[in-house]
Amino acid sequence: MINHIWIIKSTGQNLFYKNFGTSFRFDEDLISGFFMALNNFAKESGKGAIDSLILKEAKFIYMNFGSIFVVLGCDRKDQIDAMKERLNIIGSLFINTYGDLENWDGEVRKFRSFSEILDAQLKPEYTPVTIPDQLSREELIIQEYKEVSTEFTCEIIKNEKSNINVFLSRSLEEHFIVNINFKEFPEKPKIKFPKELKKLLGKPDDALLTCSNWNPENPAKIVEILRELEHHLIKSTKKDTYSTQLIVDKNQPY
C-alpha cells in the first residue's frame, strides 16, 4: 500500500510530497535531501543508482525520470515489482503534466495541483477516512482537540473545543497566536493568522499544503496542520539567520 510519495528534482529540490493518511511525520526537505544523498552515494560507488531501501517496517522504492526521481514509501510486505509499476505511472504523469522542467522558474506551488491528479489515479490504492457511524461529530472534535492539546499550548474559545487559539513561537522573541475553528470537521477548518504571520507566510491556504489540498473524504488531522505551520516557522527562522550571516560576511573586510 502506498503511504508516501516524494518527487525530487535531479538537482536536489523537493518538488512534491504527498502523505496518504499515515501517522508518520516527516520533515519533507530533510527526507528529500537524505534520498538525494543516498542516490548520489549509490552512483559514486560505481554500482549504479539506488533501486530500493528496506527498513524493518517500511520500504522505499526509487525510479529515475531524467530531470526528476520519484520515491515511493510503502509497506514492507509490498512487492517491489508491483510498486515499480505504480512509480512508473506517477513519474510519467508528472512529466506529462509539467514537462521536463528544463526552464523551471523555481516555483514549487504550481505542483500542488498534482495531488488531485494522484487522488484520481490512485483512488483504489487507499481507503478514505470517514466519520464512523458510532462516533458522533462531537466525539470526533474532542478527539482532534486532545491530539492538538497534547502537542501544542492552546486555549478554548467560548467553551468550544472546536474553536481554539494555538500558541506558536518562531524564536525566543517572536510568538504568534493562531485561531483554528474546526466545528464542521471533516470539512476544512477556518484558520486565522495574525497580521505578523500573514506578512511572513501569506494566507493559510497559500502557505499550507495541508489546507490547500484538503479533502473532506480523506481529511488531515488538525494537529498535522499545526505541525506543517511549525515546520514553516522553523524554516523561515533558518532563512533569516542565513540572510543575516550573508549581510555580516559582506561587511567583513578582506
Task: For 125-164, write each residue's pLDDT tens digit.
Answer: 444 444 444 467 788 889 899 989 888 899 999 889 999 9
What pLDDT score was predicted for residue 129? 45
> Would you kindly state where each structural domain of the chain is located, as residue ranges?
2-125, 137-242
CA 117 vs. chain centroid, Å, equals 16
Domain 137-242 in the same topology as domain 2-125:
no
What pLDDT score was predicted for residue 245? 39
CATH code, 2-125: 3.30.450.30
Read off the pLDDT band of 166 (50, 70, 90): very high
User: Which residue has cell 528544463?
Assistant: 102
Average pLDDT, the chain: 79
- By CB atoms closer than 10 A (0-12, 13-18, 19+), residue 212 is middle
Read off the pLDDT band of 22 (50, 70, 90): low
Cα R_g (the chain), whole angstroms: 20
Element (H, E) at 54: strand 52-54
Helix (H, G, I), strand (E, B) or coil at 126: coil
Choice between 223 and 19, residue whose per-residue pLDDT is larger: 223
Element (H, E) at 223: helix 222-250
The Cα 123–Cα 117 span in angstroms is 10
Name every residue whose Cβ is closer than 8 Å to that of residue 200 and which is 6 or more positions away in sequence.
170, 233, 236
What pLDDT score was predicted for residue 177? 92
Q: pLDDT, tens digit, for every residue of 204-231?
A: 788 888 888 888 888 888 988 888 888 8
Strand blocks (E) in 100-214: 153-157, 160-169, 175-181, 190-192
Name every residue whose Cβ is closer than 8 Å to that of residue 144 and which is 6 or more positions away in sequence.
162, 182, 185, 221, 222, 223
Answer yes or no: are the C-beta atoms of 127 and 1 closer than 8 Å: no
Work out the number of other CB atoms within 10 angstroms of the CB of residue 225.
24
User: Which residue has cell 485561531?
Assistant: 179
Tell me the β-bridge partners of 16: 7
What pLDDT score was predicted for residue 241? 43
Of 1-15, 22-36, 58-72, the range with the lowest mean pLDDT is 22-36
The Cα 154–Cα 166 span in angstroms is 4
137-242 homologous superfamily: Ubiquitin Conjugating Enzyme (3.10.110.10)
The Cα 3–Cα 135 span in angstroms is 25
Read off the pLDDT band of 237 (50, 70, 90): low
